[in-house]
Amino acid sequence: MSPWSWISKTAGLAGVVLALGVSVALAATQLTGAGSTFDYPFFSRAFYEYSQQHSGVTVNYQSIGSGGGIQQFIAKTIDFGASDVPMNTEELKLAGALVLQVPITLGGEAIGYNLPGVGKGLRMTRQLIADIYLGKVRKWNAPEVSKLNPKLKLPDMDITVVHRSDGSGTTYIFTDFLSRVSAQWKEKVGTGKSVQWPAGLGGKGNEGVAGQVRQTPGAIGYIELAYVLENQITYALVENQAGKYLYPSIETVAAAAASKPDVSSTDFSIVDAAGENSYPISGYSWVMIYERPADPARAKLVRDTMEWLVTKGQALAKSVDYVPLPENVQWQALKIISAIKV
Amino acid sequence: MKDSMAKADSGSASGEVGPAGAAGGGEAVAAAAPGDLAKAAELGARVKLPVAARGKIFEWAVYGATGACIAIIAGLFIELLANSWLSISTFGLSFLWTSEWNPVTNQFGALPFIYGTIVSSAIAILLASITGVMAGAFLAEFSPPRLAEPLSFVIELLAAVPSVVYGLWGLFVLGPVMRDYIEPFLQRYFGFLPIFAGTIYGVGMLTAGVILAIMIVPTVTAISRDVMRAVPNSQREAIWALGANRWQGFRMVVLPIARPGIFAACILALGRALGETIATTMVIGNRPAIAASLFAPGYTISSVIANEFTEATSQVYLSALLELGLLLFIISVIVNGLARLLLWTIFRPMES
């Protein structure tokens, strides 16, 4: 072997070792997460800000859907998963290790409608929404609707019920709400990300439902609050448990969350929450992390990032029309995150 | 120059490509170097082995590519079967004819989806075959040549539009037009037929069929145009010589000869309609129910998979969705098989 080739080989080997070292260093500053599409606008805003403030840390979030997020999380290919509904016992068993589930952001749902000549200010009780979605109230001028809205001139028009066709956390929160306020709904349909709808049309995504509602005179549909705030959609005042009629807003959804500070992955529903100012169709989205992250080098990074996300990061939620966690829930979230073993 | 030519010649002359190539090679050598045949032959001899090897490599590559296609199909089928096994063993054959689709109670049946897939595609192929064949006939037989090219280009452009664009257009433009004009018109004059009765939503089976038809019309048009153009001119001239006019010539000569090709075009288009996902999802209404009315919302196999797969978490649920995928696969195979059968039994005897 000539000295030159020896030198070049050694140099090459050193280069490889160096490159490996660098890539390990890189890996320690990069987190990957996957899951809920609902979280995506908030996460991309928040994690961008985080990497600005913490030089070199990047968080790569893939919005592949909650189901995919849970699967990837169970397969341990990502540092954290995100889901609109916490993992259930069966899924936790598959994970095979202790999983921490952290409430990360809040969502609320508006009841959008399209009634030519009526405009804003339609009032609806919880029971009425359930009866419409059950297909029991079929006309806009039915007594159930008109007695709540004596001042509005309700047309003699069929109600076209619109729901999400794709599996979604939005549907989960909405059906959770309906199951809470209507025994008949609970028994006949139940709660889920996809359910067997007794009535209506399915639209794909918020844009599908909103598009359908805007297109169809007489239509009604539930739409994510962030989407409603950024688009021109007329939505109803919904009666809460205290008997007040409220519009969904960042404040009224946050009030619903604040009414239940001890939220956990097994007791997380905040639909039909108590309190004067609580909007009844609200719910959390979740992040899942292992108590002992597979890569100990990244455990601290995961903990730091999540701590930031549930506290300082929450301030960014409003800028993308998301509802920040109320302070008492931020404390609860911090308590859960502090269990990560670093 | 001469050298490279000789090399090329020897490639074809080596016998791997058959008599046509060999003859062509001989001619080229003669033309290039009439007085230098011996040298060319010598050059040829020198490079013979690598060229033969290249031929072998090509041969294996061809086998490999074909084998890969078959392996992918087989792998797809096996994977689908394996992953839907839980659903198959849970629901058995009743999966095929029950209509319950309830992710909350984990009860699954595929009938409304099978129905929706077949009906929406049937509407599409009915509309698209009539329109497409007529447009193809115009382009091939009746339009002035100067017009045919730009028109063909525009029609083929329809095929290049992404399906999500069709879907959005369907939701925001076609849906309201169907709701306000076309469906009320059909109901008014043909409302006695159950398929045109019932509530009008704008979205539904008929709208989905129309969107699909628009999407597959370019396929039918382009292929039937090419097939009609391929009919030898001597055939046309023969019938014209007998006194037929353009239209008669088309009906008696071009159409019968082109018919198997047109049929194949429709089958190809039908394949696309069966599998189309996003555009259908946007306009079909996504309700797993079987209704007599074409105005009612429906659901297709590919739509429900696209809608529910990402958020499905329970094992049986996922498995049921994959079994739907398997069914779509089987439906496509059956449709293609039937088409081939039809081609053999109907068109073969006619040709002979």
The string of pLDDT tens digits covering residues B187-216 is: 999 999 999 998 899 999 999 999 999 999
pLDDT band at A154 (very low <50, low <70, confident <90, very high): very high
Is A212 within a domain? yes
Please list the rounded mean pLDDT of every run of 10 residues in chain B (352 residues): 41 40 41 53 60 89 95 94 95 94 94 96 96 95 91 89 92 93 94 92 95 95 94 92 92 91 91 93 93 95 92 88 95 89 72 50
pLDDT value at residue B349: 56
pLDDT value at residue B176: 93
pLDDT band at A2 (very low <50, low <70, confident <90, very high): very low
Over residues A145-154, the mean pLDDT reads 94
ipTM of this complex > 0.85? Answer: no
Burial of residue B261, with CB atoms counted within 10 A of its CB: 0-12 exposed, 13-18 middle, 19 or more buried = middle
Domain boundaries, chain B: 2-47, 84-351
Shortest CA distance from B318: residue in chain A: A67
Q: How near does any CA of chain B get to the CA of A212, in Å? A: 7
Q: Is the same domain home to A143 and A239?
A: yes
B202 chain-A contacts, CB cut-off 8 A: 215-216
The CATH code of domain B84-351 reads: 1.10.3720.10
pLDDT band at A65 (very low <50, low <70, confident <90, very high): confident
Three-state SS sequence of chain B: CHHHHHHHHHHHHCCCCCHHHHHHHHHHHHHHCCCCHHHHHHHHHHHHHHHHHHHHHHHHHHHHHHHHHHHHHHHHHHHHHHHCHHHHHHHHHHHHCCCCEECCCCEECCHHHHHHHHHHHHHHHHHHHHHHHHHHHHHHHHCCHHHHHHHHHHHHHHHHCCHHHHHHHHHHHHHHHHHHHHHHHHHHHHCCCHHHCCCCCCCCHHHHHHHHHHHHHHHHHHHHHHHHHCCCHHHHHHHHHCCCCHHHHHHHHHHHHHHHHHHHHHHHHHHHHHHCCHHHHHHCCCCCCCCCCCCCCCCCHHHHHHHHCCCCCCHHHHHHHHHHHHHHHHHHHHHHHHHHHHHHHHHHHHHC
Q: How near does any CA of chain B get to the CA of A96, in Å? A: 17
Question: Which of A3-12, A186-195, A317-326 has the weakest average pLDDT?
Answer: A3-12
Asked if A184 reaches chain B (Cβ–Cβ under 8 Å), the answer is no
**pLDDT digits over A22-63, tens only?**
444 445 588 999 998 888 989 999 999 999 998 888 999 998
β-strand partners of A102: A287
Q: How near does any CA of chain A get to the CA of B273, in Å? A: 19
Contact A215 B100 (CB under 8 A): no
**The tokens 């549907």 sit on which residue?**
A171
Asked if B104 reaches chain A (Cβ–Cβ under 8 Å), the answer is yes
Q: Record the tokens describing residue A134, joined without a space.
A: 């059950």
Residue A62 — φ and ψ, nearest 5°?
A: -105, 120
Contact B286 A203 (CB under 8 A): yes
CB A108 within 8 A of CB A282: yes
CB B268 within 8 A of CB B207: no
Which CATH number belongs to the domain containing residue A318 in this structure?
3.40.190.10
Q: Record the tokens describing residue B39, joined without a space.
A: 């040298």
Asked if B224 reaches chain A (Cβ–Cβ under 8 Å), the answer is no
Over residues A282-306, the mean pLDDT reads 89
Shortest CA distance from B177: residue in chain A: A215
Asked if A320 reaches chain B (Cβ–Cβ under 8 Å), the answer is no
Taking only residues 184 to 203 of chain B, the set having a beta carbon closer than 8 angstroms to any beta carbon of chain A reads 199, 201-203
pLDDT value at residue A270: 94
pLDDT value at residue A297: 78
Is A169 within a domain? yes
pLDDT value at residue B311: 81
Q: How near does any CA of chain A get to the CA of B129, in Å? A: 29
CB A311 within 8 A of CB A334: yes
Is A265 within a domain? no
Q: Record the tokens describing residue A68, joined without a space.
A: 């995919």
Over residues A193-220, the mean pLDDT reads 92
Residue type, A157: M
Shortest CA distance from A87: residue in chain B: B313
- Label residues B269-304 b or e (16+ Cβ within 10 Å = b): bbbbbbbbbbbbbbbbbbbbbbbebbbbbbbbbbbb
Q: Is the same domain home to A175 and A122?
A: yes
pLDDT value at residue B203: 92
Cα A248 to Cα A113, A154, A236, A318, B84: the distances in Å are: 14, 22, 9, 14, 42
Of B101, B311, B314, the CB nearest to A196: B101
Q: Is the same domain home to A179 and A239?
A: yes
CB contacts < 8 A (A, B): 95
Compute the distance between CA of residue A182 and CA of residue A131 in angstroms, rounded to an integer: 8
pLDDT value at residue A136: 95
Contact A202 B286 (CB under 8 A): yes
Of A169, A201, A216, the CB nearest to B287: A201
Over residues A191-197, the mean pLDDT reads 93
A71 chain-B contacts, CB cut-off 8 A: 313
Of A64, A192, A215, the CB nearest to B176: A215
Structural domain count, chain A = 2
Asked if B64 reaches chain A (Cβ–Cβ under 8 Å), the answer is no
Domain carrying residue A222: 109-260+273-280
Residue type, B317: Y
Q: Is the same domain home to A132 and A184?
A: yes
Q: Is the same domain home to A244 and A166?
A: yes
Q: Is the same domain home to A235 and A310?
A: no
Q: Is the same domain home to A103 and A60?
A: yes
**pLDDT digits over B56-109, tens only?**
999 999 999 999 999 999 999 999 999 999 999 999 999 999 999 999 999 999
Is A173 within a domain? yes
Contact A65 B303 (CB under 8 A): no
Q: Record the tokens describing residue B102, joined without a space.
A: 């309830």
Of B202, B281, B309, the CB nearest to A165: B281
pLDDT value at residue B340: 86
Contact A204 B308 (CB under 8 A): no
pLDDT value at residue A294: 75
Is A268 within a domain? no
Count how many residues are written for chain B. 352
Shortest CA distance from A194: residue in chain B: B103
Q: How near does any CA of chain A get to the CA of B106, in Å? A: 10
Is A209 within a domain? yes
